[in-house]
Amino acid sequence: MILILCPNLCLDRVVVVRDFAAGRIHRADTGSVLASGKGLNVARVARVLGAPVTVIGVIGTDENGRAILRGARTHGISMRAVPVRGPSRVCTLIIDPGKTETVINEAGPARGAGVEGKLLSVLRSSLRRARVLVLAGSLPALLPEDFYARAIRFARAAGVRTVLDAAGAPLRRGLVARPDFVKVNRAEIADAVGGGLDSDDALFTAAQSLQTQTGGQVLVTLGDAGAALITADGRWLLRPPTVARVNAIGAGDSLTAGLVVGLLRGQSVLDAARAGVAAAACDVTTLLPGTIDAAQTRALSSQVAVTAAGRVR
């Protein structure tokens, strides 16, 4: 079972607005809501790929919180939610199909007595059935910045592998706990190492420093260019096939899901990363974040070009 710790769950409001521009009045083509947060995006894709998933997170006690629970159940996702009195987080996604997306993320709950202890208690009991723990997304203000680090240490004590997919302070503090796999984008790794990355060499050097620090593997997402994989055995560039872009939000979460499912099925790290890049490419062709077609993802996997030391595998 894949266990996903996503404290800052939310309800996404997805609005399609063609030719969107700030400062104008628009009419939306469509609007929809989606139970979300990075962890739920990862979970939906993992379920489509056939893996059992449980998500742990925080929700409010309002109707939006209940909608998050219903949305998870609809996709066959087991939820272990810790309720916090008050409204649930709502994020607004403005999609201009094929063009740049606009995202407005609310911060999440700032107060809640004993939430950290409750989450860790749920985590401990859930780890007994887990093979891998994914730590995904931002932390609400009611949790300390080292929360993911504590969770990683619990998982290690239970013999469960960990994948850290976070940003900012939760990422930096989490690295100290030495997760088995780190998934970041270019901006997140630049922040983690404290400097700009203006070349591929600088990117690989930064990723190598994270790999050395954690002793695990590092996957850096590069948008349309694919991803860079760094392990103790080498480093590779994985370039996705060209697809018709509709919406890129959530593609990184689909990559995480494809990677983790591949690892659980015994694939090599490189082949699992290839499967992740294929899932991300499939996600880009859909409107809603964390949405893929399993058959299309399998077909795209064989089209991911993997380059190591100047050669294409």
Mean pLDDT of the chain: 93
- Supply the pLDDT for residue 243: 95
CA distances from 286 to 3, 97, 248, 254, 300 (A): 25, 10, 8, 12, 14
Rounded Cα gap, residues 87 and 140, in angstroms: 13
Q: What pLDDT, in 10s, does the model give residues 156-176?
A: 999 999 999 999 999 999 999
- Supply the pLDDT for residue 311: 40
pLDDT band at 179 (very low <50, low <70, confident <90, very high): very high
- Supply the pLDDT for residue 197: 80
Q: Which residues pair with 308 in a beta bridge?
A: 311
Q: Which two tokens stand for residue 135?
A: 């730590």
SS3 251: helix
Looking at CATH, the fold of the domain delimited by 2-20+28-312 is given as UDP-N-acetylmuramoyl-L-alanine:D-glutamate ligase (3.40.1190)
CA distances from 297 to 24, 38, 198, 255, 288 (A): 38, 19, 31, 11, 16
Higher-confidence residue of 65 and 312: namely: 65
**DSSP designation for 71:** H
Q: Quickly list H helices, 127-159.
A: 147-157
Is the pLDDT confidence value at 216 over 80? yes
- Supply the pLDDT for residue 110: 78
Rounded Cα gap, residues 88 and 86, in angstroms: 7
Q: What pLDDT, in 10s, does the model give residues 241-277?
A: 999 999 999 999 999 999 999 999 999 999 999 999 9
Q: Which two tokens stand for residue 40?
A: 């739920």
Rounded Cα gap, residues 266 and 260, in angstroms: 10
